Amino acid sequence: MSSPTQRSLEVDFFRGVVLLIIAVDHISGSVLSHFTLHQYAFCDSAEVFVFLGGYASAAAYTALATRRSAQAARRRFFKRSWEIYRAYLLTAVLMLIGGALLMLLKIDSPMLRYTEWPTFLARPVGLLFDITTLRQQPYLSSVLPMYSIFALAVPFVVPLAERKPVIAMFGSLLVWLAALPLARALPSTYAEAWSFNPFAWQLMFVMGILARVQPVSNDFHASRTARWLTCGAIAIALTFAFFKLFLETQAPPGYLKQNLATLRIVSFAAVAWVIARAVYAGWIKALAAKLPGVVTIGQQGLVCFIAGTCVSLVLDSALRAIGMTHDQWIGGLAADALAVGTLLWLAHFWAERKRTRVERERKRVPLIKGQPVPAHAVNPRDR
């Protein structure tokens, strides 16, 4: 896809697509959600997002270690873990505010309970303590604690995946196999523990890391084995799609997603290989070049994730408030357009804000032997 120190256009594009899907998938009545991955496979945007998170983390770590030092890369990811934790706290607070508005406006929505607002009214200090210590994680904020833990693990996993990929893969598999008993050690007031068991989902994150540091070679892509794998992956994906569309009568139990069931891994692997072949053929890069706004969303991932959770909650509540049903597709399509438009605008605004700040810092730094200080030395946070 790209050199070791260069951002991948395709990965940023996929991250942008997934962030848009996460937003529309949490809007009841959404029209676009009828065409997203979960309708046709036993996996959904969560697997894609975590896999790409591992890929992007490995890319960022290796780039910073190459450009500066391994120590600088470690410091950056320890700091990144703290940034994600702060983003989690912000998202949790926004979910509480959303719950308060739902109750104030008397909107009948099942999301009210998931925002933890009723719990906050009963024991405000206790709930805030539980949120801070990750014991309770309000609606749509629950994926971020897992990412904070993964960021802490990056400085240890990436070098291991580079030097000894087999050990990294099998070690991750062993943790995944032990994920259920390990989950009992997580701080939680819920009987079912966290919504995303990090001991299970780390497998998807490590797979993303390995995809970056141990990429499939062009020779293998050109081989007959790769073509046979593609045929098998397409067959599996089509079989799962047929089952989902015509045979499944009710949604799978939530614990299958919570603990990353084998079926979900197989489904994701089939889809991922087909997409990898499309990337190899250059189709995704050409598509990404035509949709730069989506790429920008992927590049501003954390802020767009937080915004997407808020936008989806607001639009879902608005549709419920006006009595919109699933059959009234015009309202759902309007909500989709608002969600997509908001994220496109926000990503552009945030990217311009960062660019302006970097340019301002560049003008302030002194010249060193007649040469300006490189941009990455001015503000490594934006790299």
pLDDT digits (tens, 9 = 90+) for 171-182: 999 999 999 999
Q: State the average pLDDT over residues 277-286.
A: 95
Residue 236 makes CB contacts below 8 A (sequence gap 6+) with 266, 267, 270
Q: Is residue 1 situated within a structural domain?
A: no
Q: Is residue 4 situated within a structural domain?
A: no
Q: Is residue 178 situated within a structural domain?
A: yes
- Based on the structure, what is the number of domains in the chain? 1
User: Does position 329 have pLDDT exceeding 50, yes or no?
Assistant: yes
pLDDT digits (tens, 9 = 90+) for 5-37: 567 899 999 999 999 999 999 998 899 999 999
Beta bridge partners of 368: 371
Cα–Cα distance, 256 to 41 (Å, whole number): 13
The two structure tokens encoding residue 360: 């301002």
Q: Is residue 3 situated within a structural domain?
A: no
Least confident range from 46-55, 81-90, 144-153, 372-381: namely 372-381
Q: Is residue 2 situated within a structural domain?
A: no
User: Does position 160 have pLDDT exceeding 70, yes or no?
Assistant: yes
What angle in degrees, to the nearest 10, is found between the helix axes of 329-364 and 9-25? 140
**Per-residue confidence (pLDDT) for residue 365, from 0 to 100:** 64
Beta bridge partners of 371: 368
Cα–Cα distance, 88 to 56 (Å, whole number): 20
Q: Is residue 42 situated within a structural domain?
A: yes
pLDDT band at 195 (very low <50, low <70, confident <90, very high): very high
Residue 76 domain boundaries = 9-382
Q: Is residue 214 situated within a structural domain?
A: yes
Q: Is residue 302 situated within a structural domain?
A: yes
Contacts by 327-334 with C-beta closer than 8 Å and gap 24+?
328/29, 329/29, 329/31, 331/29, 332/27, 332/29, 332/30, 332/31, 333/31, 333/32
Cα–Cα distance, 24 to 32 (Å, whole number): 7
The two structure tokens encoding residue 163: 């030097």
Cα–Cα distance, 378 to 365 (Å, whole number): 8
User: Does position 376 have pLDDT exceeding 50, yes or no?
Assistant: no
Q: Across all residues in the chain, what is the average pLDDT?
A: 90
- Do residues 263 and 256 make contact, with C-beta atoms less than 8 angstroms apart? yes
- DSSP-derived secondary structure for 40-67: TSS--HHHHHHHHHHHHHHHHHHHHHHH
